[in-house]
């Protein structure tokens, strides 16, 4: 692809069998079944054929061929020729198959050729990366962490298969997952990872991504002359905090706005017609009567949303209108249901993850809600919450919860899942969680434990045994402190003096990372990765202060600062940049000057 992957490809290829201190890396994505045949691509460094494209290839087909050509060269040193039209020397055939939808793919062997077929957007690229990851064992853990087998003889023996992902939005909503190159390689599809259209595109909101009421009907443009467009309060006055969603003129303005936006951004796939991020209901007589009759404030919102969806459908039949089932709009109305081109963005907020971050969704109130919504709408888009928003770096052993929830959402007709994590910069286990959840969002049947080991073995290499031990320690923390973690103080924003962050836990974790640094030796790449993984522990000590961290507190701050600056951390909690201010506070504590 024309993105900058070649410039970041660095010396990250390795042989996992070289370290006897740890188990050998295994391909956890290897497809089940018998190979459909064997096709020799390169023999002792010599090409056995090339890549064949259709006579008039699409940009996506050409891009898929270029990607495959690049990685085969990196593995073997040989450059496969790419030909459009028929070629008797071709051993690989790339083609679009409309029956695979947008992103589905198929792999087969036909007449001695490996055939990679895909849907009309990213399907053919997905086919290439399925072959690379699943059949050949390539890995693209992070932008600077790539694992490729090295050989001068490459024989493809793929398992024939056909796969269409259920989820249109597959969004590990961490900053490190917003990279479009990483997103393509790992078959994620995030609105925040702007994959160009010629390379398959992405689920593009074109700037209309949730909480769009004020964007569509700007208060400074309309409130003075038309206060009736906005929510009525109990005293009869109007407020710009929310719209009056049942006002017919509001629908007219919103429809015009959405039409113009779609005209200006023709590749848009979904737009959000949703309330502002404020808990407030319009109390005008019309809204009050509808809310009372339908038993939910969502009825008022759906009045607007359905009107927009109906007006847009004829002109843009493939565009979805989504809206938020969030706080006061989370309940399903009695009779007013979404149109077929409306997606319900259901938030696992106060009904689940906000209060119970270590409880599976099927054990929380959100379970009944997602089941109720899925009974009336087969376009459920989930907004889940998976990081401590007051402490982005806080240790948070919840990957099993994330995995269980993905399976629960997809069982209940989810068409999109967003896993909101550290979206403003580096966060706790962000690279591991992004990679593992990207795989599960693509195929929920894969095993998160095997994927976690895959990442740790492949990413940390010689230091992997220590990082696997740390993973076991985090799992044990959940077991040993099950009561405290069932409903932690502050919910998902639990403090760093939470009862489960004991001195014993911190001491054992520190010893593990000391061993990890020893195992990494003089390998600067591994040492940096180990340091990055240790940041959450250093952070807990920084926040807790010298009484908890002990006489090494100043040295801990110094180490934390060094690593955090190297990783370009600016946000320690959700909101504005706060790293410098909080770092100054830690230093004041170390100097005995309480801030």
**Which residues fall within 8 angstroms of residue 519, CB to CB, at 6 or more apart?**
21, 462, 463, 465, 466
Average of per-residue pLDDT across 328-343: 97
pLDDT at residue 56, rounded to an integer: 96
What's the full length of the chain, in residues?
595
* Cα–Cα dist 401/108, whole Å: 35
> In the prediction, which pLDDT does 89 show?
83
pLDDT-derived band at 24, boundaries 50, 70, 90: confident
pLDDT score for 12 = 37
- CATH classification of 169-445 is 1.10.10, yes or no? no
Among 442, 519, 506, smallest CA distance to 474 is for 506
pLDDT at 9 over 80: no
- Reduced to 3 states (helix: H, G, I; strand: E, B; else coil), residue 215 is helix
* 198 pLDDT higher than 90: no
Separation between Cα atoms, residue 276 and residue 490, nearest integer Å: 24
Across 14-45, b (16+ Cβ under 10 Å) vs e yields bebeebeebeebebbbebeeeebeebbbbeee
* For residue 86, pLDDT beyond 90: no
Looking at residue 328, its pLDDT comes to 95
Lowest mean pLDDT among 180-189, 331-340, 586-595: 586-595
Domain boundaries, given as residue ranges, for the chain: 5-163, 169-445, 460-590
pLDDT of residue 594: 67
- When pLDDT is averaged across residues 272-284 and rounded to a whole number, the result is 96
Q: Does the pLDDT at position 205 exceed 50?
A: yes
Query: In this predicted structure, what is the pLDDT of residue 261?
Result: 96
What's the whole-number mean pLDDT along residues 40-63?
95
359-415 per-position pLDDT tens digit? 999 999 999 999 999 999 999 999 999 999 999 999 999 999 999 999 999 999 999
Answer for the pair 68, 92: CB distance below 8 angstroms, yes or no: yes
Residue 23 above 90 pLDDT? no
pLDDT for residue 581 is more than 70: yes
Across residues 60-70, what is the average pLDDT? 97
Task: Render pLDDT for 224-253 as a digit per residue (tens, 0 to 9).
Answer: 999 999 999 999 999 999 999 999 999 999
| CA distance to 330, 352, 587, per residue, from 349 (Å) | 10, 6, 35
Q: 366: which 2 tokens?
A: 């959100």
Q: How high is the pLDDT of residue 323?
A: 98
What pLDDT digit, counting tens, does each position of 264-276 carry?
999 999 999 999 9
pLDDT at 13 over 70: no
Q: pLDDT (tens digit, 9 = 90+) per residue, 420-456?
A: 999 999 999 999 999 999 999 999 999 999 999 999 9
Q: What is the pLDDT of residue 593?
A: 76
**Is residue 48 within 8 Å of residue 112, measured between CB atoms?**
no
Instruction: Return mean pLDDT, the chain.
Output: 94
**Closest CA relative to residue 263, chosen from 321, 210, 315:** 315
pLDDT in tens, 467-500: 999 999 999 999 999 999 999 999 999 999 999 9
Average pLDDT (336-344) is 97
pLDDT at 87: 72
Predicted local distance difference test score (pLDDT) of residue 5:
35
Which residue blocks in 418-447 are alpha helix, DSSP H?
Answer: 430-442
CATH superfamily of domain region 5-163:
Chitobiase/beta-hexosaminidase domain 2-like (3.30.379.10)
Give the pLDDT mean for 538-556: 97
**pTM of the full predicted structure?**
0.94
Averaged pLDDT for residues 461-469: 98
Strand partners, 417: 170, 382
* Helices of type H across 342-491: 366-376, 399-411, 430-442, 448-460, 464-480, 482-486
């Amino acid at each position: 692809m024309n993105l900058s992957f070649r410039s970041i490809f660095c010396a990250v290829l390795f042989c996992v069998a070289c370290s006897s201190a740890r188990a050998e890396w295994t391909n956890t994505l290897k497809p089940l079944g018998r190979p459909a045949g064997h096709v020799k691509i390169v023999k002792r460094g010599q090409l056995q054929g090339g890549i064949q494209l259709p006579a008039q290839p699409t940009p996506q087909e050409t891009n898929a061929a270029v990607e495959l050509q690049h990685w085969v060269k990196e593995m073997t040193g040989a450059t496969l020729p790419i030909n459009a039209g028929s070629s008797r020397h071709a051993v690989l055939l790339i083609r679009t198959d409309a029956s695979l939808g947008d992103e589905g793919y198929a792999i087969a062997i036909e007449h001695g050729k490996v055939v990679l077929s895909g849907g009309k957007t990213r399907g053919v690229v997905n086919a290439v990366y399925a072959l690379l990851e699943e059949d050949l064992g390539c890995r693209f853990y992070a932008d600077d962490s790539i694992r490729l087998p090295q050989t001068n003889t490459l024989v493809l023996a793929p398992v024939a298969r056909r796969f269409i992902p259920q989820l249109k939005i597959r969004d590990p909503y961490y900053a490190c997952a917003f990279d479009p190159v990483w997103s393509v390689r790992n078959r994620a599809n995030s609105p925040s990872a702007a994959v160009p259209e010629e390379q398959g595109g992405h689920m593009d909101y074109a700037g209309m991504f949730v909480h769009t009421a004020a964007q569509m009907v700007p208060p400074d443009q309309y409130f003075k002359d038309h206060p009736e467009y906005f929510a009525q309060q109990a005293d009869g006055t109007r407020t710009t905090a929310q719209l009056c969603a049942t006002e017919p003129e509001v629908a007219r303005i919103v429809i015009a706005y959405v039409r113009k936006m779609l005209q200006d951004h023709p590749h848009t796939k979904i737009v959000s017609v949703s309330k502002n991020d404020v808990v407030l209901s319009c109390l005008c007589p019309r809204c009050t009567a509808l809310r009372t009759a339908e038993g939910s404030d969502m009825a008022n919102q759906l009045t607007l949303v359905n009107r927009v969806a109906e007006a847009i459908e004829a002109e843009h039949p493939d565009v979805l209108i989504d809206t938020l089932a969030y706080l006061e709009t989370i309940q399903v109305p009695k009779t007013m249901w979404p149109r077929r081109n409306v997606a319900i963005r259901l938030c696992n907020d106060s009904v689940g993850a906000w209060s119970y971050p270590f409880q599976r969704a099927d054990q929380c109130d959100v379970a009944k809600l997602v089941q109720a919504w899925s009974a009336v709408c087969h376009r459920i888009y989930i907004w889940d919450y998976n990081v401590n928003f007051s402490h982005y770096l806080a240790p948070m052993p919840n990957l099993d919860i994330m995995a269980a929830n993905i399976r629960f959402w997809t069982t209940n007709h989810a068409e999109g899942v967003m896993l909101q994590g550290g979206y403003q910069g580096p966060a706790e286990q962000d690279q591991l969680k992004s990679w593992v959840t990207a795989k599960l969002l693509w195929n929920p049947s894969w095993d998160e434990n095997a994927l976690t080991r895959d990442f740790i073995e492949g990413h940390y290499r010689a230091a992997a045994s220590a990082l696997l031990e740390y993973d076991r320690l985090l799992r044990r923390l959940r077991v040993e402190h099950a009561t405290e973690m069932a409903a932690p103080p502050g919910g998902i924003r639990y403090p760093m003096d939470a009862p489960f962050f004991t001195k014993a836990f911190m001491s054992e974790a520190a010893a593990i990372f000391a061993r990890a640094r020893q195992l990494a030796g003089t390998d600067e790449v591994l040492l940096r990765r180990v340091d990055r993984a240790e940041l959450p522990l250093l952070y807990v000590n920084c926040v807790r202060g010298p009484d908890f961290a002990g006489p090494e507190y100043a040295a801990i701050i110094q180490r934390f600062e060094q690593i955090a600056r190297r990783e370009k951390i600016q946000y320690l909690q959700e909101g504005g940049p706060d790293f410098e201010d909080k770092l100054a506070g830690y230093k004041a504590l170390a100097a005995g000057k309480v801030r």
